[in-house]
Amino acid sequence: MTQSSKIRLDKWLWAARFYKTRSLATDVIQGGKVHYNGQRCKPSRIVEIGATISLWQANEQREVIVKALSEKRANATIAQTLYEETEQSIAKRQLHQEQRKLSPKPLAPQRRPDKKQRRQIIQFKHQHTGE
């Protein structure tokens, strides 16, 4: 971990292991999925210790506070020392995780329709489209 004062946001997100590549981090920032201190920002934004970053990662929103700066990507245990996730963020993620476990899985048809059922589907579609 270096304590240099100028580290780009995309580089910090990559070093903190939120995204696999810097280009992916850049794309996510430009897509508006990362907010620095509550505002949209550019990938070249300089990260400061104590800043709050909210980001989307794998369909989950996280809010972290920057604790240290690093330009190099290290192993996961070192990367976790670069930030601290807020308690609200942890609680929100756990709630969504529980909701996903409890929600019913979408019903998929057991098999493809046979010839008679296909004819009925076609007939039904033609009746409702006015053809």
As for how many domains the chain has, the answer is 1
Predicted confidence (pLDDT) per residue in 59-113, tens digit = 889 999 999 999 899 999 999 999 999 999 999 999 998 988 888 877 776 788 8
Neighbours of 50 (CB within 10 A): 8
Residue 131 falls inside a structural domain: no
**CATH (domain of 62):** 3.10.290.10
Domain that holds residue 13: 1-90
pTM (predicted TM-score):
0.73
What DSSP character marks residue 43? T
